[in-house]
Structure 1
Amino acid sequence: MRDALKGRRVLVTGGARGLGAAFVTALAKQGARVAFGDVLHAEGEALARSLREAGHDAHFIALDLADPSSIEACVAASVQTLGGIDGLINNAAITNSGGKSAEELTPATWDAVMNVNVRGAWLMSVACLPHLAKSGRGSIVNIASDTALWGAPKLLAYVASKGAVIAMTRSLAREFGGRNVTVNAIAPGLTEVEATAYVPAERHEYYLKGRALTRAQVPDDVNGPVLFLLSDAARFVTGQLLPVNGGFAMN
């Protein structure tokens, strides 16, 4: 797969830290030209600066997925910076409902999670579609979660949003296929990143004991499948869900 993405123009949402930053870094090291958006401006600028200093082509763009006008502006800036878009990784998401039961969850929290995780991914995909179609090899990779496969408790809004992302992936694959754009989803397990630091130790242990591969999951475990789905090697793969969780939940 080395150099398989050289020169590929990819937009990543939620790229300032965690899995998103891992995707941005892996793409840049593969020779891709990367634009990435996030609400975390300082972290995003620092990552872009670090990658450029190392000789890579990476650009941070402010993005708030809860704001449709911000999505349009991010896509326009990405196209201007990169000259087009060949790939999109819909990675950005919020949890907010962690630790709360279904009875404790508020409508405001539910709406906030759905607006970012589901509506944001939909609007970003639609905004990028003309550019992905023009590319001739456009690919979208949606980052779901294996929590939607096994029904993690006390995480209802997030789990429901990721289930929606999986369903949306299949529908978008059928709609976008006629324009030669593939749409697939990755469902990572609990990964050791900043965003999962709040997760109780017993949940980490539950995952560790339940995996077929009994070790902690790290960002590099997810990079390979994502890069594959963006590459020409996956041009005839669309509408698929790939769990990447060490065999904790099997599809």
Structure 2
Amino acid sequence: MPRSVLVTGGNRGIGLAIARALAADGDRVAVTYRSGQPPEGLFGVQCDITDGEQVDAAVTRIEAEQGPVEVLVANAGITRDRLLMRMSEDDFAAVLDTNLGGAYRVAKRVVGRMIRARQGRIVLISSAVALSGEAGQANYAASKAGLIGFSRSLAKELGSRNITVNVVSPGLTSTDMTDALPEARREELVRRIPLGRAADPQEIAQAVRFLASPQAAYITGAVLPVDGGAAMGH
């Protein structure tokens, strides 16, 4: 049976790859996006996930279109990289409010229906930086590390209702954002990766696809790194 899926930040990069992979399996996939255009072939709803009223309205539209959300992939996020000495309170707060607060708002909005149905899958997209840290990304690393504690708390809250909550932790991935990095910086990052290359967004999507599948029914509270070995040992 096709499931109702929501992918936040699903109109480009990793989010779009995840949405396409789940749609290819026959699921009904909706995506939220803050700017740009909705992806062709998917149900797109414009939504700023830092605004609780917009989140509520977006999920209401998605429920009307394809039924209660059975699989949530919280992917939307931003960066505002600065060294701590130059990081404003707004730089710090905006990243936390989007990356961590956004996951909270969307999960809280959809989880009630999952509890009543006694089934559901929640996958949060973190980052290798959550485990290893990175200079100039204190705000981003804090927000992505927060998702791990958030997910494991939810896994304990929701496990008795047959709802799994897991994290996928990508490393350097070839997207528009990383392609815009200076070549020297990109080469430096690749040198840290044991497999010697960046990930393709499809490789992240396949990890999410597995955790959202029936085959992963006994996995919850897990962090699955998809980072070419970059953060191992952390």
TM-score, normalization by structure 1 = 0.88
Q: What is the match of residue 91 of structure 1?
A: 75
The DSSP-based 3-state class of the residue aligned with 2:84 is coil
Cα displacement (A) at 1:76: 1.2
Report the Cα distance in structure 2 between the residues aligned to 1:236 and 1:76, rounded to whole angstroms.
30
Which residue in the other structure is 1:25 paired with?
A: 20
Q: What secondary structure, in the 3-state scheme, does the structure 2 residue paired with 1:212 have? A: coil
- Equivalent pair of 1:144/1:185 in contact (CA under 8 Å): yes
Unmatched segments (≥5 aa) in structure 2? none
Q: Hey, what's the Cα distance between the residues in 1 that align with 2:185 and 2:154?
A: 33
Aligned to 1:63: 47
**Closer, same or farther in 2 for the Cα pair 1:132/1:199, shift >3 Å?**
farther
- Residues 1-251 of structure 1: pairs in structure 2 closer than 5 A: 7-40=2-35, 42-44=36-38, 47=39, 50-51=40-41, 58-96=42-80, 98=81, 100-250=82-232
Give CA deviations for 1:160-205 in whole Å, capped at 9, x if unaligned: 1101111111111111212221110010001110122343333322
> Aligned AA for 1:208?
V
Deviation at 1:136, TM superposition (A): 3.5
* CA distance, structure 2, for counterparts of residue 135 and residue 10 of structure 1: 15
Q: Which runs of 5+ in 1 are unaligned?
A: 1-5, 52-57
Query: Does the CA contact (< 8 Å) of 1:137 and 1:232 recur in 2?
Result: no
TM superposition shift of 1:16: 1.0
User: What number of residue pairs does the alignment pair up?
Assistant: 233
1:144 and 1:94 mapped to 2: Cα distance? 12
Moved more, 61-70 or 200-209: 200-209
Q: Normalising to structure 2: TM-score of the pair?
A: 0.95
The question of whether the paired residues in 2 share the 8 Å contact of 1:27 and 1:227 is answered with: yes
Equivalent residue number for residue 54 of structure 1: none
Shift of the alpha carbon at 1:236? 1.0
Paired with 1:174 and 1:126, the residues of 2 have a C-alpha distance of 15
* Alignment RMSD (CA, Å): 1.4
Q: Distance in 2 between matches of 1:9 and 1:90?
A: 14
Distance in 2 separating the partners of 1:166 and 1:156 = 16
